[in-house]
Structure formats: C-alpha cells, structure tokens
Structure 1
C-alpha cells in the first residue's frame, strides 16, 4: 500500500536528515533537493515523494536546533537568525532549555502550518489564472522585496540585473550548445555557490593564507541536562500561555506567506516578538521558540500554497529545496486535497519520530558524535559530487561548466556581499521578465 511506503520513506528520510541537521553549516537546498530528485528519477509514487519531502523538512528543521543551541553554530541556513539568541542562552547557561524551546516550536509550527497552508491555498486557487499570467512581474517584485531584506539591501536589488543577464545569457548559449535551456545545472550552481566560492578561495594565495589554520577549530559544548523526559514530550508544555499564543500566532501568519524568504520571515517575526518581551530569559527562549516555529510553518506554506493553488514554483522554497516537486514531477497534477492532509501528516509524524526525541533527550551526545566523526569538508565533497552528477545527467560536461559558472558568481555575491541564495533563486525565475523588459526599454530609448 502507498501509505505503508510513505511511512517507510518518511522514517528513513527522518533518520537521514536528522543526522544531516546536526552537522553545522549544511544548506537545505544543497542537501534536500538532490536526494529528492533522485527519488523522483527512481519513479516513486507522487504521494510517497510528498510524504518523504515533508518528513525530511521537519526532521532537519528540528535537529538543526542542536548545534545552534549547544554550540551557537547554525545547523542549517534557516538556523542563522537563531544564532544570536542561542549564543546569549549559552552564556546564560541554558542551552538545553533553548534547544527544547526551539525543537518544541518546530513541532508546533509543523502541526499548525500544514492545515493553515492547505486551507489558504484553497482560498487563493481561484486567482491562479491571474497570478500565472503575471508570474514574471510577481517574481520580480518578490525578488526585489527579498533582496532588500538581505544584508546587502539596495545593492542586492541592483545585483538582480547582472545576475538575470548572466542566467539568460547562459540559457541562450545552452540552446546553441545542447539544444535546450537548462534548469538543474543552474539551480544546482546557485545551490552550491557558497561552497564553490570557498573552494575557489583556496586557489588564490592571499585568500588561502588568510583562511589557513594552524590547528583544528575548538568547539565547546555545554554540559548535558540531568532532567528526565518522556520519550515524546508534549511540545506545548514547553511554553507558558502567552508564549504559546506567540508561537501559534506567528506559525499561522507565516504559513500564509509564499513569496518571501523563509529566513526573512524568521528574522522579522522573531524581532517582533523579542520587542514585546522585556525580561532577558523570557525574551531569549520565547523568541527562539517562535523563530523555529516560523521557519517550519514558512517552509510548509511556501511549499504547499504554490503547489496546491497554482502548480508553479512561486516561492523561494519551491524554487530551491522543493524544485524537483515542481519541475521533474509537478505534484499539483497528481495529489488530491485529502492526499495533502493524509500524507502531509504522515510525513510530519513519522519524520519527527527520530528527530524530536533525539533533540530533546540526546542533543549533547549526538552533537559530540557528529563533531568528532563527520568531516564538514567530506560532506561538502559528497554534495559537490552529487551536484556534478545531476548537472552531467542534464547536459553533459556543459551542464557541469554552467553549474560552476553560476556557482562562482552566485557564491561570490553570497559570501562577500550577503546576497543570499534565496535572492538568487528569485532572480533566476524573474530573469526572463527582467531581461525582456530592459531590452524593450532600451529599444524604445534608441
């Protein structure tokens, strides 16, 4: 039965991405998209693939709290906004409390975000024709908003233009070289851009000397908590009444967004809650719980709303980690409304069966194991190899070259100017409208 298959892949995916989430610095898109694409290419049923993706999303969003809270190292890109408060919690001697608040918030965000996103998608579905008609303009507006919310501000907005021209230029070359436009190679190039840029730095003597280390980096983990917990604690019990209101309310709001960066939503709603809390302990722990709830709910909203209402990747999540669910196989054409509820909750429940208890009870033990046993460089090398394989599958050697070109340029923008991959993914889908419009304007001016 499909339900049994969905349960099995959800458990397997939950275990795999629970472990990946513990490793600091991992990128959701670089890890989730390639493996999901392999499942799509293997021919798994659409509902099974959907359950898999929900499971790995939830698992990674829960366990990325472990290195973030215990060592103030972001377990994934979505955990970056939580580092500052996690560091304060560490100095206060409460990293285990911070981690439990974050894990519980993540569970609450998932449980609230799924039904809210599905219902809101149904409300927007009648507008699908209008939104589809103006998708290029919508992507461009969303790209400008997300770019302005990044560290680079106006610089990121301006950078959309050259990046759009680079993408469209490569698409024109690919049409001449391999007879088609490319998606996977460009998408993967953006995904691993920060990694490629770091590797490129090694080839430059000044940068290599700047980054050289005489000894391995030392990481100090806080002591483990002696408090006993049930196997699967009730996530709502980790918050007081007012805090639950903030966590639930922010989860519901963020689940209705689908064009803004998940990181941007996490920062914005987290700061809103922090401004309303005066006492330090309450502010830090409540804000962390809200931020992780928002990260999960936003991810679900940005996956489900474009998928159900439009069948188009009209969000950073749909453009990034969930891209195979729209491009290689469009789940919009295969899943019914009941499928979204049934297999979505299967993904949440069975995806967190390993991640949630581990984050609550075994955080320090597993953090130490990952830090000691898994090389971050080996992880980067493995995903670089996987990306090259997928690019070669699409367009041979030209696909790999395209991924590297995009990766070097996009990685430079990310690492040096703070124009993150969320901006770049939006620029990719807005590039056609940006280039066409500017060419038309130039033609009129001549």
Structure 2
C-alpha cells in the first residue's frame, strides 16, 4: 500500500481519487446495449448473455424445480446463518416504519401524508467471482416489508447456465416473485424497457461494476428510478495508536477482495500504526484465496498519516466513504462530526463484515463520493410519500383570497379562477 505523510490540502483530490473509469469511457457501450435491448428484447438479452457470460440459455427464467433443487444444496449451518441475518435485517428495517401525519393547517384545511409501496421493483444481484446472496437479503427483505407487489431479481448465470444456489435460496426465502438469469448492462436494460420475459419495473436496486452503475444512471433517462449510484466497493478506516493493527488490516483486506477496482484507505494520526498495518496487510494477504484480486485493489489503496483528528475528519468528509470504520480513542468526535459516509462502524470489535451480513443494517450503499448526497438503501427506498388534502367551505374561505392573490401575481389566471368560481358560490 502507498504510504503518504502529511499531504498538502491541495493534493487531497488527487490522493483520494477513485481507481475507476470515467463515464465517458464506458457510456458508449452501455448506450449500444440499451438500444438493442429496447429494439430487440429477449433476442438482444440472449446475444449479450452469450457474449459476456459465455453461456447459451434455452430459457432465462428460473423454474420452481431449480429453486427447490437449490434449497437442497444449502447446508443446515448456512441456512441457520442466513436465518439469523434475516431476523436482524427484518428487525432493523421494520423499526424504520413511520406513522402517517395528519393535521389541520388552518380551520377547515386538513392535510396528511401516507406512504405507499413502489409496486414494481427490480433487484440486481452481482454474480461473477463472488455471488452476493447477502445482497438478496438486503434488498428483498425491505421490499417485502414495504409491500412491493412485484419483486424481480436479475443475476448473471454461470457457464453452466445456473444462478448460485445461495442466491436462489435467499430469493425464495425473502419473497422474490420472479428470478431472471441475466446480468450486466443487459439486465438493467431489460428491467428498464421490459422484454418478453423480463418485467419492466419502476425502480432498480443493487450494486454492480462500473458498467452496471452507468447502466443504472442511463435507466433514469427512460423514467426508471434507481436506488443510488453504487459502483466498486470502498472502505476508509480512521485509526490511532489504540487500534489493533491486525484488525485494521483484516478490514482493509475484506473490502480489497471484492474486486480489483475496489479501494481501501487508512487515515491515521500514528506513524507506528501505519507501519504495523502495512506489515499485517502483507502477512494476511498471503493467506487469502482471492489474493490476486486483493493485490490489485491494494495497489490502488493508501495509508495516509495526518497530524491530528481535525485534519483527519476534514479529509474523510472530503472523500465521503461508502464504509467508514472508527478505531480511535476519541471516537465520539468522529461519530458526532462525520457528515459524509454511507455506513459507520465503531470500535475495535465492529468489523465492516458485520454490516455486510448479519448486524441488521443495509449494505447497499453509495460509493464514489455519492454519500455526500445519497443515503444507503433503507425501508423508505421502497416507499413513496403521498400527500392528501381536504378543504371544507370554511377552509376555502380562509385561504381562498391568498390563493387568488398569489395566482394573479404569477400571471396564472386559470389558477385564480378555480378558486374564485367556488368562493362566488359560497357567498
């Protein structure tokens, strides 16, 4: 990992730059796939599945027999682990339910707000080198709690034309209504336009590589909402001399193994800790089955020394990490002052892996600095707030003149007339 000491503020932008391609680099490919899926439907889906996933499918719809077979391939121990995670995720997301609000803003004017589920949602679940069945839990559970009617899951098939049994088991467990064997850009395009086998949805959720991220952003141009821009995973740890170097190194590597374009950063006020963490990373890296992937990620990562907590926090807020771990004596300072982070993990015994799997918080989070403006997935992500109002005769008399004056001032005579015609009858 690259060690950097006391960097000048004007260099922070370059130091904290993500190792990702620009949108311009890949947008042409994404647009081309979108256009073909829009025009050719499942034929284009099949073509790109053959090209990108190296498999030809007779059908891309997962059958009941496949679901039943997948359940038999999951060990009881793993099923118990998934059940534990499910219960915690249900507990945390159910607690996010809020009551509607209703009040009389003026005598005779009643306004209220209620939440309604998004009827049709699409869940994108990455496959590839690490089939993320945990993401099924993170997306399908809140969708189910919210009351979404259609929950469509897309995940890329392997070379045998199958989706990982763990993904299928979790999907069946969490109320997914349809599962499609399709990944990448073509999956997002299919959910955007709809095809013969892929339902068109109103909102798309889920992480993915840079191509999937750009595809999701392109989907918004066609009237489909997305949860957030969520690309390659990233983690920033702030730690001082009280931190356990082995723990910090294990957290950095846990994100580095996601993919070669992942990024991990340590910001520390202790040079000694930086050296210790660097040594631990090298030692633990040698034991990882995904060593080759983690090594590429580590090459893009940084160990940064700053002189005090104030500078450290300013740098962290400038970066806006997806995952933020606090391992410092002065943890309250960071907890109370962090402005930009997707999810925060506090103390030496709170590994980021806990949030990835079983603590109950959601692991679908904004990356690439989008935590400055976006929230991670939560129950409200699957809901819409709708406002209602009912006005009595007395109420219209109370606010009618104000409406007339404001509408006239804006030059919208029909708006004024809609009130005036009623007020005239109330005299």
The TM-score bracket by the shorter chain reads: under 0.3
Answer 1 or 2: higher relative contact order, Cα 8 Å, separation at least 6: 1
Q: Which has the larger share of helix?
A: 1
Task: Give the TM-score of the pair, scaled to structure 2.
Answer: 0.24
Bigger Rg, which one: 2
With normalisation by structure 1, the TM-score equals 0.23
- The structure in which a higher percent of residues are strand is 2
